[in-house]
Structure 1
Amino acid sequence: MNSVVRVLIGDDHRIVREGLKQVLGDPANGVPEITVVAEATQGNEVLELVAALQGPTGTPGLDLVLLDIAMPGMDGLEVLQALRKAWPALPVLMLSTYPERQYAVRCIQMGAAGYLHKSADPDDMVAAVRKVAAGGRYLTEATAQALAGALERTGVVRTAQQGTPAGVDALSYREHQVFRLLTAGQSVSEIGAQLKLAPNTVSTYRARILEKTGARNDVELALLARGAPAE
């Protein structure tokens, strides 16, 4: 790892970016070796900045991408997928308000080097950036438990008729996108506009999600996403 950890932050909220820069790059916090070299507010912009900073010479301009899941345009999971394909050696640390129980597993499975909740302690955030930039993985206790649970469900608990994983783990990539947007309170038409899908197609995905998760409506989906039991 280089002496200075060069970070790109992808998050559409300015207050979050400013807070992260203060935590990661303030010498008063004892972390002057971490510097934020670029910021992006949209998914496409993350990819454009990475391409510009990494350059064609083979000399990396970044050590880490700190990436929010809920990005405008391309969401964070789409960006993560594109980053892993184009720059497989560039570590990506996902940052989100979503609970580890549902989203950390998906991120790690897609190649993220770690997952942090936005409410994480500043010291944990710094430790995560250092470890991931050095080539390691950063797993909180909650993330480790979520991964263990996912392994148990996909390896042991399967639907009797289909022989496939049950629950949220059974969702396809596109279904998981729709699931996330539904649980964020977006309507079918809003989701269709964001994902460039016809409303009928989104409704079909919603029906599949309800079937696979066992939820009866969007309220129960929201409870599932938060890790709360549905009544």
Structure 2
Amino acid sequence: MSRLRLLIADDHAILRFGLRRLLGEMAEVEAIGEAENGARVAQLLREEHWDVLVLDLDMPGQNVLDVLKRAKLDHPDLSVLILSMFPEEQFAMRALKAGAAGYLNKQSAPEQLITAVRLVANGGTYISAALAGALARNLSAKPLDTINEVLSDREFTVLRGIANGHTVSQIAQTLNLSAKTVSTYRTRLLTKLGVRSNVELARYAAEHSLVK
């Protein structure tokens, strides 16, 4: 049996503790590491070899899609499993396109997480039955019918930042962009979504379950 080294990335210490206890029960697991933010993820990936990264999609201080893309760029053999509270239909496809090997909602049963980790560790892709159904439905949808097709990753991230009450300057700092660039993304969002203000952007995000 091949041995697995797992890295858990989540900003909540209690959740990391629970995941460590659960995944530590897997007979094939050799080591488990923990990271509370994207910077720590990058550091641990540089310092040690890991087989699977279990990554929360909503850690503060950095765009997690960027963390995912960088991890896959620097470590192509790393399997990344996204574990998130956000709806699969809105977030999973974006994560999979960014390089994730699977997406699991945090409300899933514990045994689903173990199944997902084992699958991605062996080179597979994990999606739930609910997500498979959503993807099948989207195959027959018009390209601009879904948020995933309408918005780029940057626009999607700026939309969520605005909906969470962050200023243009705060979003710019998180994304390592200029305030002018973020303002340009905001203008594109207003046009693409057919709204006129930050309040309407926030309402749109809430209606589509893009924020907590």
TM-score, normalization by structure 1: 0.79
- Aligned counterparts of 1:77 and 1:14: Cα–Cα separation in 2: 21
| Contact 1:183/1:225, CA 8 A, preserved across alignment | no
Structure 2 residues not aligned, in runs of 5+: none
Matches within 5 A, 1:112-151: 112-151=100-139
Correspondence for 2:206: 223
The alignment status of 1:183 with 2:163, answered yes or no, reads yes
Change (3 A) 1:100 1:152: same
How many aligned positions are there?
207
Correspondence for 1:103: 91
The alignment status of 1:41 with 2:22, answered yes or no, reads no
- Aligned counterparts of 1:126 and 1:197: Cα–Cα separation in 2: 37
Using the TM superposition, give the Cα deviation of residue 76 of structure 1 relative to its aligned residue in structure 2, in angstroms.
1.8
Correspondence for 2:46: 51
Classify the secondary structure of the residue corresponding to 2:17.
helix
- Aligned counterparts of 1:125 and 1:9: Cα–Cα separation in 2: 12
Which of 73, 85, 89 lines up with 1:85 in the alignment? 73
- Higher alpha-carbon Rg: 1
Correspondence for 2:23: 24
Change (3 A) 1:111 1:196: closer
| Contact 2:22/2:110, CA 8 A, preserved across alignment | yes
> In the alignment, residue 77 of structure 1 is paired with which amino acid?
L
Q: Which has the larger displacement, 85-94 or 174-183?
A: 174-183
- Aligned counterparts of 2:65 and 2:180: Cα–Cα separation in 1: 23
Correspondence for 2:183: 203
Deviations 1:132-189 (A, max 9, x none): 1111111012322343344444xx344xxxxxx7644221221121122233343334
Q: Which has the larger displacement, 179-188 or 109-118?
A: 179-188
| Contact 1:167/1:213, CA 8 A, preserved across alignment | no
Change (3 A) 1:15 1:166: closer
Change (3 A) 1:118 1:201: same
Using the TM superposition, give the Cα deviation of residue 198 of structure 1 relative to its aligned residue in structure 2, in angstroms.
4.2
| Contact 2:172/2:182, CA 8 A, preserved across alignment | yes
| Contact 2:56/2:83, CA 8 A, preserved across alignment | yes
Classify the secondary structure of the residue corresponding to 1:39.
strand
- Aligned counterparts of 1:6 and 1:215: Cα–Cα separation in 2: 46
- Aligned counterparts of 2:31 and 2:205: Cα–Cα separation in 1: 34
| Contact 1:69/1:96, CA 8 A, preserved across alignment | yes
Classify the secondary structure of the residue corresponding to 1:226.
coil
Classify the secondary structure of the residue corresponding to 2:59.
coil
Structure 1 residues not aligned, in runs of 5+: 55-61, 159-164
- Aligned counterparts of 1:167 and 1:129: Cα–Cα separation in 2: 28
> In the alignment, residue 45 of structure 2 is paired with which amino acid?
V
Classify the secondary structure of the residue corresponding to 1:66.
strand
| Contact 1:9/1:36, CA 8 A, preserved across alignment | no
Change (3 A) 1:157 1:63: closer
Correspondence for 1:64: 52
TM-score, normalization by structure 2: 0.85
Deviations 1:93-127 (A, max 9, x none): 01112111211010011121101112221111111
Using the TM superposition, give the Cα deviation of residue 223 of structure 1 relative to its aligned residue in structure 2, in angstroms.
2.8
Superposed CA RMSD in Å reads: 2.4
Q: What is the aligned-residue identity percentage? A: 41
| Contact 2:162/2:202, CA 8 A, preserved across alignment | no
